[in-house]
C-alpha cells in the first residue's frame, strides 16, 4: 500500500507523522479503523480527557457562532464550570486591534510543488479592501492546560503554525483581490483560554520564515512519499505519544503517565481529499 497521489496534507496528518510514522501509516495509508481503547477499571484519564476535548470543541462552535452573528449561550446558564470560564473570558476579550473583515472557520488549500496542503483557520481577520496597509491575522482558540502558558518558541515551531502561515501566504491572492500578501503582512495569534494573565501569543512572519517552512514541508512530504510499505513507517520510540493514541492497543502500547496531552484540534475532522484548487 502507498499513499494516494491525490492525498491532501494537513496539520493533522503531518502532525501524526511527526509524532509517530506508524500512526500515519495506519490512519492514512492502511485506513485502519480506530479500535476502542482498552481502559482498565478505575483508570479515568483517557475518558476524562475526552470530555475535556469535547468541551474545547463546544467552545469552538460557540465562538464561530459569535463571529457569524448567530445566537450564543448565556454564560450564567452554563452548568459546566470550565466551559463557562472559557466562554466568559472570550466574551471579555478585546479584539479591537484585529483587521475588520472577520472570516470564521475559513478553509484554504495551497500548492507545494505537486502536493497540496489544507488549512482550516478558526478565524481569519483581514484588512478592508480599501486599506492601503493590508494585513491578515490567523486567530486560533486554544484550551491547552498547564502551569505556564506555552512559549513563543514552542508555538512558532508547531506544525500547525508552519502550515497555517505557509498556506495563508501561498493562497492569499484568492483573498486579496488577486494580489498575493507578503509574509510580513501575515501573523498568527494563539488565544489562550486557560491563561488570562497572558491571553494570547502573536507569531509574526517573514520571507525567511516562509522559505524555511516551505523547505521543511517539502522535505517532510518527500520523506512520506518515499515510504513503500509498512516497515518504512516505524513505531515511535517515545511512548508518551501512545498515551492518548487510539491505536495504542493495536500496537500493544500503554503510554506513560507524563505524556503531553493532545489539544482540541484532534477532535476536528481531517480532510484527505478536497476539490482541485489552483493558486
Using one digit for the tens of pLDDT, what is the confidence trace for 57-84? Answer: 999 999 999 999 999 999 999 999 999 9
Q: Compute the distance between CA of residue 247 and CA of residue 35 in angstroms, rounded to an integer.
A: 6
Select from 3.30.70, 1.25.40, 3.90.320, 2.60.40 the CATH code of 8-267: 3.90.320
Q: Compute the distance between CA of residue 166 and CA of residue 213 in angstroms, rounded to an integer.
A: 7
- Domain residue limits, the chain: 8-267
Q: Compute the distance between CA of residue 279 and CA of residue 173 in angstroms, rounded to an integer.
A: 8
pLDDT at 41 over 50: no
Helix residue spans in the chain (DSSP H): 11-19, 21-24, 45-68, 81-92, 152-157, 159-170, 207-225
**Concatenated DSSP letters for 81-118?**
HHHHHHHHHHHH---TTS-SEEEEEEEEEEEETTEEEE
pTM score: 0.90
Report pLDDT digits (tens) over 103-124: 999 999 999 999 999 999 999 9
pLDDT-based confidence at residue 279 (cuts at 50, 70, 90): very low
Amino acid at each position: 500500500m502507498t499513499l494516494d497521489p491525490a492525498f491532501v496534507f494537513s496539520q493533522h496528518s503531518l502532525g501524526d507523522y511527526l509524532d509517530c510514522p506508524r500512526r500515519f501509516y495506519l490512519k492514512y495509508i492502511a485506513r485502519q479503523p480506530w479500535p476502542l481503547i482498552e481502559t482498565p477499571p478505575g483508570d479515568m484519564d483517557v475518558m476524562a480527557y475526552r470530555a475535556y476535548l469535547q468541551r474545547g470543541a463546544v467552545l469552538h462552535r460557540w465562538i464561530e457562532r459569535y463571529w457569524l452573528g448567530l445566537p450564543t449561550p448565556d454564560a450564567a446558564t452554563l452548568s459546566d464550570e470550565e466551559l463557562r470560564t472559557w466562554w466568559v473570558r472570550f466574551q471579555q476579550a478585546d479584539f479591537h486591534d484585529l483587521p475588520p473583515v472577520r472570516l470564521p472557520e475559513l478553509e484554504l488549500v495551497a500548492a507545494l510543488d505537486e502536493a497540496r496542503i489544507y488549512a482550516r483557520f478558526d478565524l481569519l481577520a483581514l484588512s478592508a479592501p480599501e486599506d492601503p496597509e493590508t494585513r491578515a491575522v490567523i486567530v486560533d482558540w486554544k484550551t491547552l492546560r498547564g502551569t505556564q502558558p506555552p512559549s513563543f518558541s514552542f508555538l512558532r515551531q508547531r506544525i500547525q503554525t508552519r502550515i497555517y502561515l505557509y498556506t495563508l501566504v501561498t493562497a492569499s491572492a484568492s483573498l486579496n483581490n488577486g494580489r498575493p500578501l507578503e509574509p510580513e503582512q501575515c501573523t498568527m495569534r494563539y488565544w489562550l483560554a486557560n491563561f488570562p494573565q497572558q491571553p494570547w501569543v502573536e507569531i509574526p512572519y517573514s520571507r525567511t520564515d516562509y522559505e524555511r517552512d516551505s523547505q521543511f514541508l517539502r522535505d517532510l512530504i518527500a520523506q512520506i512519499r518515499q515510504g513503500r510499505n509498512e516497515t518504512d513507517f516505524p513505531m515511535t520510540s517515545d511512548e508518551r505519544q501512545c498515551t492518548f493514541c487510539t491505536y495504542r492497543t493495536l500496537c500493544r502500547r500503554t503510554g506513560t503517565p507524563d505524556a503531553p496531552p493532545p489539544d482540541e484540534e484532534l477532535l476536528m475532522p481531517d480532510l484527505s481529499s478536497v476539490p482541485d484548487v489552483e493558486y
